[in-house]
């Protein structure tokens, strides 16, 4: 695995609707070993290996956008008010270090402030804050703020990559830059296959966190024989993990094969057999709902219907600034995807 590239993309900002920085890194990296790259009108980024018209066609998709904010108001003292882009965990927002990406491309750092707990009455101390009651403090006066920041500017959590051990990584936006990273590594590995009998389109999609919007476009663009969607999934190996509700999913036990209705069930059974045959660590999940939750349900229904499967990477503390994943699970996903594509007869 090229951890330098993983670190690079985790240090980008790609708030939903503002994915350009991440898109550029993905395309610059993959163009060195794929046949072609492309950006559609929606902003989805494609990196493709093409071996022939009659070869099996795969779409491997992962969304590159991250949860974040946009500026909605600047008050008379230069404090900046925001709203969320995506389902931000409001409990983790106060005290966050953030970066405003201005219209000129300049970066303005700030922190998300709130009324100190000492100044709240006992009732308000126990209430969950609302995002409209929080503000960004840049340390600048209003004139300086107004010169740099404008309404609609995206706001991202400041990059904070931290390796807790050789295999365990914490960072903002592992959801779902870890999925895009997996796609890049699968494409790189496939590029070394001497006799290719597959067409693979790796797509980093936009705006998943605000309604799966990029997924609507990319499936119609590729029209694949098999679509594989990658995303993080809830790890339940934490206190109050609610295994009875969400299943038993743990970091370090392998890639997750989903059996929700978004997935072609016979193919998921074949995937499990393939993983067992190759000793690839894996876990089985019915997911926490019968349909939805990832781009898969959009990809499945687009353009008259498609054969879809989804794979997950266990993730703790999802939609917070300190998401946590295990690189062993990432390796397992790369191995499984590579073998799906190079040995299609094993899953037919």
Show the domains of the chain with their CATH numbers: 3-66+172-346 (3.40.630.10), 68-157 (2.40.30.40)
- pLDDT at residue 330 in the model: 98
* Residue 347: pLDDT band with limits 50, 70, 90: low
pLDDT in tens, 286-298: 988 888 889 999 9
At residue 329, φ and ψ (nearest 5 deg) are -70, -35
Percent of the chain predicted with pLDDT > 90: 82
Using the predicted structure, report yes or no on whether residue 38 has a pLDDT greater than 80.
yes
Using the predicted structure, report yes or no on whether residue 122 has a pLDDT greater than 80.
no
pTM reported for the whole predicted model: 0.95
Q: Are 273 and 267 in contact (CB under 8 A)?
A: no
The mean pLDDT value for 166-194 works out to 96
Using the predicted structure, report yes or no on whether residue 348 has a pLDDT greater than 70.
no
Using the predicted structure, report yes or no on whether residue 341 has a pLDDT greater than 90.
yes
- pLDDT at residue 242 in the model: 87
Q: What is the 3-state secondary structure (H, E, C) of the chain?
A: CCHHHHHHHHCCCCECCCCHHHHHHHHHHHCCCCCEEEECCCCCEEEEECCCCCCEEEEEEEECCECEEEEEEECCCCCEEEEEECCCCHHHCCCCEEEEECCCCCEEEEEEECCCHHHCCHHHHCCCCCHHHCEEECCCCHHHHHHHCCCCCEEEECCCCEECCCCEEEECCHHHHHHHHHHHHHHHHHCCCCCCCEEEEEEEECCCCCCCHHHHHHHHHHCCCEEEEEEEEECCCCCCCCHHHHCCCCCCCCEEEECCCCCCHHHHHHHHHHHHHCCCCEEEECCCCCCCCCCHHHHHHHHHCCCEEEEEEEEECCCCCCEEEEHHHHHHHHHHHHHHHHCHHHCC
- pLDDT at residue 119 in the model: 66
* 77, HSE (Cβ side, Cα atoms, 13 Å): 7
CA distance 35 to 57: 14
Using the predicted structure, report yes or no on whether residue 302 has a pLDDT greater than 90.
no
Q: How far is CA 85 from CA 260, 282, 330, in A?
A: 27, 32, 27
- pLDDT at residue 252 in the model: 97
- pLDDT at residue 220 in the model: 79
Using the predicted structure, report yes or no on whether residue 54 has a pLDDT greater than 80.
no
Q: Are 77 and 56 in contact (CB under 8 A)?
A: no
Percent of the chain predicted with pLDDT > 70: 98
CA distance 212 to 48: 22
pLDDT in tens, 61-105: 999 999 999 999 999 999 999 999 999 999 999 999 999 999 998
Q: Are 342 and 190 in contact (CB under 8 A)?
A: yes
CA 338 to chain centre: 20
- Of 244 and 254, the structure prediction assigns the larger pLDDT to 254
Buried b (16+ CB within 10 A) or exposed e, 150-165: eeebbbbbbbebeeee
Which is it for strands 97-101 and 154-157: parallel, antiparallel or unpaired?
antiparallel
- pLDDT at residue 23 in the model: 98
CA distance 267 to 274: 10
């Amino acid at each position: 695995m090229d951890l330098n590239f993983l670190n690079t993309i985790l240090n980008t900002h790609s708030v939903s609707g503002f994915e350009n920085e991440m898109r550029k890194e993905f395309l610059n990296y993959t163009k060195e070993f794929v046949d072609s790259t492309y950006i559609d009108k929606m902003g989805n980024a494609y990196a493709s290996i093409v071996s022939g018209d009659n070869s099996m066609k795969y779409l491997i998709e992962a969304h590159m956008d991250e949860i974040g904010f946009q500026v909605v108001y600047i008050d008379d003292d230069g404090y900046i008010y925001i709203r969320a882009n995506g389902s931000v965990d409001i409990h983790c927002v106060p005290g966050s270090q953030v970066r405003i990406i201005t219209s000129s491309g300049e970066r303005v750092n700030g922190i998300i402030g709130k009324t100190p707990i000492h100044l709240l009455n006992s009732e308000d101390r126990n209430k969950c804050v609302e995002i409209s009651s929080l503000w960004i403090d840049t340390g600048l006066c209003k004139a300086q703020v107004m010169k740099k920041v404008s309404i609609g500017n995206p706001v991202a959590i400041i990059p904070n990559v931290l390796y807790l051990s050789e295999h365990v990584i914490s960072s903002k936006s592992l959801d779902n830059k870890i999925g895009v990273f997996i796609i890049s590594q699968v494409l790189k590995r496939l590029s070394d296959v001497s006799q290719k009998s597959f067409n693979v389109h790796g797509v980093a999609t936009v705006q998943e966190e605000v309604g799966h919007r990029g997924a609507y476009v990319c499936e119609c663009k590729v029209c694949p024989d098999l679509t594989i969607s990658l995303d993080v999934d809830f790890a339940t190996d934490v206190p109050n993990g609610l295994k009875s509700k969400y299943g038993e999913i743990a970091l370090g036990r392998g890639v997750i094969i989903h059996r929700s209705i978004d997935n072609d069930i016979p193919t998921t059974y074949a995937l499990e057999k393939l993983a067992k045959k190759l000793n690839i660590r894996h876990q089985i999940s019915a997911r926490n709902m019968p349909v939805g939750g990832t781009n898969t349900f959009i990809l499945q229904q687009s353009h008259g219907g498609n054969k879809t499967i989804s794979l997950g990477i266990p993730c703790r503390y999802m939609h917070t600034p300190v998401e946590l994943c295990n690189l062993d699970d990432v390796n397992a996903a790369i191995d499984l995807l590579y073998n799906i594509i190079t040995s299609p007869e094993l899953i037919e």
